[in-house]
Chain A
Amino acid sequence: MSAEQMKLDIVISGVGGQGAILASDIIGKAAVLEGVPIRAAETHGMAQRGGSVVNHIRLGCELGSMIPLHGADVLLALEPAEALRYIDSLSDDGVVIVNTQPVFPITVTSGGDEYPDVSEIVDVLKSNHKVVAFNAFELAIEAGHPQAMNVVMIGAVSNYLPMGKDLLIDCIKGMVPLKTVDINVRAFELGRAQV
């Protein structure tokens, strides 16, 4: 594979606790096993406590981990509001993969803010970008556990990655708790079929 073919900039956005870091770790480990240079940036510390989180992953990159504004090829959004919040990280011809299950922030649950209509969010995303929208939370439940939502999303994005499906599944098997391996493999397959 040429360096140019390996190049892919992915932004993963979501809510602290949804497993955005594990999602980016699966891609990262697979990339290293495939011999693809990789850089990633993560949200730790203060921002983790239920806050908005964003991870950058750059495949085929040997420079900095931060994807330039309007530079991402894929925006993998684990939550619909967090897709719109980070939409300007995506390039004009980039694709948004979005989980349509909302997570209400504290400003909505105990503040006065309102959560926008999810279909409206998706419509806005569609007005400028290619969008793959589906409820990954429900697919995770179908796979066996709602926490596998992040792996459903990895399955969906796997169609765009320069690594083989089997390698990704091997990485997932090695990185999730032993008793959840089957659930996560099912979650991956359900996600992969969405694109």
Chain B
Amino acid sequence: MNTREYMLGNVAIARGIVEGGAQVISGYPGTPSSEIIDTLSKMDNRNFYVEWSVNEKVAMEVAAGAAWSGVRSVVTMKHVGLNVAADPLMTLAYTGIKGGMVIIVADDPSCHSSQNEQDTRKYADFSLVPCLDPSTIQEAKDMIPYAFELSEKFEIPVIFRPTTRISHGKSDVEPGEVVEDRPPAYFEKLIDRWVMLPKNARVRHPHLLGIQDGITKELESSPWNELTLSDKSDSKIGIIASGIASVYAKEAILNIGIDVSFLKVGTYPVPQGLIRDMLEHADTVLVIEELEPVVEDRVRIIANETGSNVRIIGKTGDFVPRVGELNVELCENAIANAFGTGEKTKLAKSTVDVEEMADMASIELPLRPPAMCPGCSHRAVYYAMKKVFGNDAVYPSDIGCYTLGVQSGTVETTLCMGSSITLASGIYHAGESRPICCSIGDSTFFHTGMNGLMNAVYNKADITVTILDNRVTAMTGHQPNPGMGKTATGENTVDISIKDLCRGLGAEFVEVVDAYDCKATEEVFKRAKEYVGTSVVIAEQACVINARRMGVRRKSYVIDVEKCTGCKQCVKFGCPAIEFDDEGKHAKITALCTGCGVCAQICKFDAISEVEK
């Protein structure tokens, strides 16, 4: 019987977590990692605990507490989240764990949805924590139960590192057996393990170094590394590829049709014995991996140790790019350039060129960037903000859907989660004399914005902090957060008031306004601008997508073409539901309208009104 299922990579990873018998799973949303907890939190008959934590550091420590209590735990995040959680990670490597602990960190080569493309394998190397790097979705699922066993055997957490093409890829997957054994939680009071006083840390650091050989040997014989030596004795070509790059490299080798020795690497520490075998069979080794030369550097060290003269290339020699994700044609090019088989690539064979085709007909394709949704409250807040603060102001911002407001001229910084308020403070204390108005979303405020606000108030930064409270963590797929009164699994919980929180952090000017009420929002911004000190404006309005899901229905709006003068004020507002009719010389509102009514308030000629039914 066909038992295979069609699964998203992150759903397969969630399945692996269930199969591995995890009892506590925590995480903070971040593309491309979010659907792992989304999947687990929506499962029926859960026999595990799952939460959305307020940030990655918190999530990592929740999972560590569970693992210290002897149960299997998982923490999920995107690559930049590990920067936030790096503090517990580095010392968790010293203390180790009891129950198996898997740290899932999804990397995003090419920055599809991220502010950088850092390589988590470097963190594995830095922290001396083993790392698994899947090449297919099936392997991603299968690696999780293995990771728990490895983790428990060496009492150390294991990093599992999918990339966007694993997490957001789909494949047929063969499910496996679910581990039924669930040990009861018991926190054993191992003071010399869990209390990292200097005297204990000095013992645990050599211990961490001491277990590395055992981990390396264990991983060497795991199914995730695979060496296929060329059966032709005259082939001296060696190719080593890691993680997802290994499937691209395999396809490139098939397309080109060359005979090579091939080593697929799926673990860190890398398989040293297999690399030594490869070095004995090749005179040139091309290393193909996404982002940093982690495997390549290690191969070079091993070659040096064994006195091998093999030529090692990859990032070295510019055969493989160090930026962006790889694909089959980049691998074909790397192999062709390295081994002189260039004319055979598909890329070289094609006669069609898209730019040439477009040029032929002098067609210029309009760009189609992502934009804030029709009826998004952020657009309305930015409109009022710009109107009050004007062009002669500084607008630090943060990470969320509202970053898409960069076109409206109110997003002038995006560094990392929670950095809007802190950058604004620094810009103020530097002596910048223009008004400073920053923006941050509700979830980002809970994540790391709070500390920044407390710091701003405490140190008397004269700035305006705008909290764009759309009552959900929208960008990553509408996960609940502490402001919503719901947990990850939909249970009711305390609804944490952002207003009270800001007051508690010391802010004296805190005003809440309906983001759809343009006039009121402008008035609040005016008062906030005049206020000397840290002023907080909380602009509330539910995310338009989430509101619709909750059953909110508003009447749409329509243009009275008799009254419309064609001034384009509403068109410039930038709502995707508003277009300009060039023939009729008037604006028109399309079926995309969600009925927020903001354009009707913007129109000076009273030409926009609610549809009467």
Which of these, B357, B360, B401, contacts A49 with CB under 8 Å? B401
Give the number of chain A interface residues (Cβ < 8 Å): 62
Chain A residues, CB < 8 A from B67: none
Question: Is there a chain A Cβ closer than 8 Å to B479's Cβ?
Answer: no
Contact segment of B292-300, B309-317, B488-496, B567-575: B567-575
How many residue pairs link A and B with beta carbons under 8 A? The number is 192
Decide yes or no whether A5 CB sits under 8 A from chain B: no
Q: Is the CB of A81 within 8 A of B572?
A: no
How many angstroms from the CA of A25 to the CA of B5 in the assembled complex? 12
A106-B574 in contact (CB<8A)? yes
Q: How far is the CB of B32 from chain A (nearest CB, A)?
A: 7
- Chain B residues lying within 8 Å of A108, measured Cβ to Cβ, are 366
Q: How far is the CB of B93 from chain A (nearest CB, A)?
A: 30
Within A37-63, the residues touching B (CB, 8 Å) are 37-52, 63
Contacts of B578 in A (CB 8 A): 109-110
Q: How far is the CA of A48 from the CA of B349 in the complex (A)?
A: 33
Contact of A46 among B327, B475, B573 (CB under 8 A): B475
Chain B residues lying within 8 Å of A4, measured Cβ to Cβ, are none
Q: Are A50 and B2 in contact (CB under 8 A)?
A: no
Interface pair B360/A116, CB less than 8 Å apart: no
Interface string of A16-44 (1 = CB under 8 A from B): 10000000110011011101011111111
Cross-chain contact B172 with A38 (CB below 8 angstroms):
yes
Question: CB of B45 within 8 A of chain A?
Answer: no
Tell me whether A40 and B370 are in contact in the complex, defined as CB-CB below 8 angstroms, given that A71-B346, A81-B365 are known contacts. Answer: no
A70 an interface residue at 8 Å Cβ cutoff? Answer: yes
Q: Which of B245-253, B448-456, B556-564 contacts A (4 or more CB under 8 A)?
A: B245-253
Residues of B within 8 A of A69 (CB): 327, 329, 346-347, 350
In the complex, the answer to whether A39 meets B170 with C-beta atoms within 8 Å is yes
Query: Is the CB–CB distance between B112 and A88 below 8 Å?
Result: no
Closest chain B residue to A15 by CB distance?
A: B368
Give the interface segment out of A123-131, A151-159, A161-169, A178-186: A123-131
Does the CB pair B350–A92 fall under 8 Å? yes
| Contact residue among B363, B476, B575 (Cβ-Cβ distance under 8 Å from A121) | B363
Chain B residues with CB below 8 A from A170, complex form: none
> What 0/1 pattern do residues 103 to 130 of B give for CB contact below 8 A with A?
0000000001100000000000000000
Shortest B496–chain A CB gap in Å is 26
How far is B477's CA from A31's CA once the two chains are assembled, in angstroms?
Answer: 27
Q: Is the CB of A38 within 8 A of B6?
A: yes
Decide yes or no whether B165 CB sits under 8 A from chain A: yes
Nearest-neighbor residue (CB-CB) of A82 within chain B? B368
**Number of contacting residues on B, CB 8 A?**
62
Most chain B beta-carbon neighbours within 10 Å: one of A63, A85, A113, A124: A63
Q: Is B231 an interface residue (CB 8 A)?
A: no
Contacts of A64 in B (CB 8 A): 165, 244, 247-248, 251, 327-328
**B365 pairs with A65, CB closer than 8 A:** no
Q: What is the CA–CA distance of A36 and B538 in the complex, to the nearest angstrom?
A: 53
Closest-CB distance, A141 to chain B (whole angstroms) = 12
How distant is the Cα of A15 from the Cα of B592 in the complex, in angstroms? 14
Residue pair A32, B361 in contact (C-beta under 8 Å): no
Instruction: Give the CA-CA distance A112 to B559 in the complex, in Å.
Output: 21
Given contacts A69-B346, A84-B365, A88-B352, contact A44 B370 (CB under 8 A): no
Q: Given A29-B6, A51-B368, A110-B572, A66–B328 Cβ distance below 8 Å?
A: yes
Closest chain A residue to B135, Cβ basis: A64
- With A45-B32, A69-B329, A107-B367 given, name 19 new contacts (CB 8 A): A32-B6, A32-B172, A39-B170, A39-B171, A43-B112, A45-B31, A49-B370, A49-B373, A50-B371, A50-B576, A66-B248, A84-B365, A105-B367, A106-B368, A107-B369, A109-B580, A111-B366, A114-B364, A124-B363
Interface residues of B (CB under 8 A from A): 2, 4-6, 8, 31-32, 112-113, 165, 168-172, 244, 247-248, 250-251, 255, 327-329, 332, 346-347, 349-354, 357-358, 360-361, 363-373, 401, 404, 475-477, 571-576, 578-580
A-B contacts, 18 listed (Cβ < 8 Å): A31-B172, A32-B172, A33-B2, A46-B112, A49-B372, A49-B404, A50-B368, A50-B370, A64-B247, A65-B170, A68-B255, A70-B350, A71-B346, A87-B357, A106-B368, A108-B366, A123-B361, A128-B352
A interface, CB within 8 angstroms of B: 15-16, 24-25, 28-29, 31-33, 35, 37-52, 63-66, 68-71, 81-82, 84-85, 87-88, 90-92, 104-111, 113-116, 120-121, 123-124, 127-129
